[in-house]
Amino acid sequence: MNQQELNNKLSQIKAQLISIEQTADNRIYLSCEARNAYAVNKFLFEDVPLRFVIATGIDSDDCFEVIYHYAYDEIGCIINLKVFIRDRENPQLESIAPFLPAAEWIEREIHDLLGIDFKNHPNMRRLILADDWPQGVYPMRKEMDAKIARGWTCETSSRPAPESPARRTVPLGKPILPVGPFHPLQEEMEFFQLTTDGEIVTDIDMRISYNHRGIEKISESLQFDQVPYLVSRICGICSASHPTAYVNAVEEIAGVTPPDRARYVRTIICELERIHSHLLWVGLAGHFIGYDTVFMWAWKYREPVLDLLEEITGNRNNYGNVKVGGCREDIPDEIVPKMLKDLDEVEKKTEMLTKAVLDDPVLHARLKGVGTLSKEDAIRYAVTGPTARGSGIAIDVRRDDPYAAYADLDWNVIVQEQGDVFAKAVVRLLETLESVKMTKEAVQKLPKGPIAIEVKEIPPGEGCGHGEAPRGETFHYVRSDGGNRPIRHKVRAPSFVNVPSFRASCIGQHIADVTITLAAVDPCYSCTERLAVVDAHGNIVRDYEMLLQASRDKTAQMQKELGWPGLKLEDLQIG
């Protein structure tokens, strides 16, 4: 199906829409009223069919907007459906989660942040707000800014009793195996409650949001050229992908194209990032199944890649090398020979590692047929990246909607059909080799010229930028009103859609297989949890000092309430 056919399809629902606009080659904006939203979404997902990316909730002046972003990967087109909710007092929308499980989390998030009520939602619990956050206070509404400016904190507002038992969400009496909030498997805080029958997992409940930094809210208070440094801090590993996706969006609004050399430098950094991220995953996966030798070896092979990144950008992570209109640091010509030599070495080692993994009979026994995510489930949960490619869905933003210099390079999208953990491992390993190949080609082809052009004004408008991060598609939506700050900046990291797919891949598995299944999507919680403006104590986070003070106060108060040190074990929710 090409652009023409897509347009024909879309014109079938013209009656329910207010407008259809095409702002750029690959960007289509539809708009409709709230009452038609359900039917239009159903049509877009089931009849066109499109891949659901994310939804953005916006507090516009006179109404609430919810923008559903869809992607049409065959031609790399992003279709945005704007839904206007005119009733500001009692905003309501029909939930699309019943037919599109991928939308379950984002609807909960929008409900938390904007107070839009999604009717018929299967599971309208809080997703990211703390349990003791006061009800009826919605952080992403614009009126909140004024409140914060007046020194509003969670403490000063009237606080209701927590609406749900704080941590355990599975009913008491069912045998559960808690994985988290702190667990040796996980580097970050998240909480999986596995309902088990012997060794078999019968249900899984996920709880995230132990660590919010309010990136989207902070982004609205920064200038366009400051935001890349903020979003590179969403996640240390994806610290090239997020800024790249963001500048793609802003450059789309401004209508500028970065110089050729900048496009190549961006590509090289993004691919080096993918190499080190995938090698990191191989190591961790080895660790999770008790194969510590693989863990240490993979991380050793990864080290030269980090050294290269440090040599180019000055940092092993958090490169901060992308800016609107180009790049900040150039790749000096004299390190090119060294880069090629190091990459050869990385390639050799990765080949060895790949061969070792593919030939190991125990690994086959351990990973094949484990944690299978079927193609149908992969589509319903709208997963991306290696998780999708391991389930036979050949999507890759680098090929579908090329950015940076990907269109100039010769490479393959790696796809495996089986959908099990082994398939995902194969995808990642082979992708690492592809990335090495691409990086070498890009380094050799590196064109001469400037690395940035000056961008003075960001005109009013909106743009969608996405990029292929190591874990999948990272998507940024930016809206500008012509000022020097984005008025809305939505970030969707790949783990936000990959993590909910655990419900499809973990149930019916052995406990022993769940950990590696959880790890197989390479979940990144710091990416998933980048929103809201609360820390675990429910304070508005303004600066470090205030947080520290609040934390001390809270500890002191808890000590008093509990009669320190009489912490009881059942408080820890073990059984």
Partner 1 sequence: MTEPLNILLQILVFPGFVFTVALGLVASWVVRKVSALVQWRVGPPLFQPFYDILKLLGKETLVPQQAQRTVFMAAPLVGLAGVLLLSTMLWRIAFQPAELFVGDIIVAIYLMVLPSLALILGSSASASPHAAVGTSREMKLVMSYELPLVMAFIVVIIKTGGQISLAAIAEQAPVLSVSGMLAFLVSLLCVQAKLGFVPFDMAEAETELGSGLYMEYSGPLLAIWKLMQAIMLVALPLFLVTVFMGGFGSAGMPLAWGIGKYVLVLVLVILIKNTHPRVRIDQAMKFFWVYCGIALAAAVVLAMIGNSCGWTWL
Shortest spacing between CB 506 and partner 1, in angstroms: 13
Q: Are strands 92-94 and 77-85 parallel, antiparallel or unpaired?
A: unpaired
Q: Does 515 bind partner 1 (CB under 8 A)?
A: yes
Q: Does 569 bind partner 1 (CB under 8 A)?
A: yes
Q: Does 167 bind partner 1 (CB under 8 A)?
A: no
**Contact region for partner 1 (CB under 8 A) — 71-79, 114-122, 170-178, 343-351?**
170-178
Question: 82: helix, coil or strand?
Answer: strand
> Which residues, 295 to 324, sit near partner 1 by CB under 8 A?
295-297, 300
Q: Which residues contact 146 (CB under 8 A, 6 or more apart)?
A: none
Q: Which listed residue (76, 178, 402, 461) binds partner 1 by CB under 8 A?
A: 178
Shortest spacing between CB 519 and partner 1, in angstroms: 9
Q: Does 571 bind partner 1 (CB under 8 A)?
A: no
Would you say 239 and 306 are in contact if contact means Cβ atoms under 8 Å apart?
no
Nearer to partner 1, 119 or 300 (CB): 300
Q: Does 175 bind partner 1 (CB under 8 A)?
A: yes
Q: Which residues contact 488 (CB under 8 A, 6 or more apart)?
A: 56, 58, 220, 477, 478, 479
Would you say 168 and 193 are in contact if contact means Cβ atoms under 8 Å apart?
yes
- Separation of alpha carbons 420 and 417, rounded Å: 9
> Would you give the binding string for partner 1 spanning residues 364-383, x where CB under 8 A is met?
-xx-----------------
> Would you give the binding string for partner 1 spanning residues 386-425, x where CB under 8 A is met?
----------------------------------------
Q: Does 566 bind partner 1 (CB under 8 A)?
A: no
- The sign of the dihedral angle between the CA atoms of 488, 492, 497, 500 is negative
Nearer to partner 1, 349 or 554 (CB): 349
Q: Which listed residue (61, 454, 545, 570) binds partner 1 by CB under 8 A?
A: 570
Q: Does 565 bind partner 1 (CB under 8 A)?
A: no
Strands (E), 132-231: 176-179, 191-197, 200-207
Shortest spacing between CB 295 and partner 1, in angstroms: 8
Task: Kindly determine how many residues on this chain lie close enough to bind partner 1 according to the rule CB under 8 A.
Answer: 39
Residue in the block written with tokens 């008025």: 487
- Separation of alpha carbons 242 and 232, rounded Å: 6
Nearer to partner 1, 21 or 199 (CB): 199
> Would you give the binding string for partner 1 spanning residues 186-205, x where CB under 8 A is met?
----------x-xx------
Strand-by-strand arrangement of the 27-33 sheet = 19-24, 27-33, 77-85, 64-72, 51-59
Of 498, 552, 501, nearest to 528 by C-alpha is 498
Q: Does 183 bind partner 1 (CB under 8 A)?
A: yes
Would you say 482 and 171 are in contact if contact means Cβ atoms under 8 Å apart?
no
> Would you give the binding string for partner 1 spanning residues 261-300, x where CB under 8 A is met?
-------------------------xxxxxxxxxxxx--x
Element (H, E) at 363: helix 361-367
Q: Which listed residue (362, 448, 454, 566) binds partner 1 by CB under 8 A?
A: 362
Q: Phi/psi of residue 517, each to 5°?
A: -65, -45
Nearer to partner 1, 173 or 184 (CB): 184
Of 168, 187, 189, nearest to 178 by C-alpha is 168
Q: In the complex, which residues of this chain contact partner 1 (CB under 8 A)?
A: 175-178, 183-185, 196, 198-199, 286-297, 300, 360, 362-363, 365-366, 510-515, 568-570, 574-575
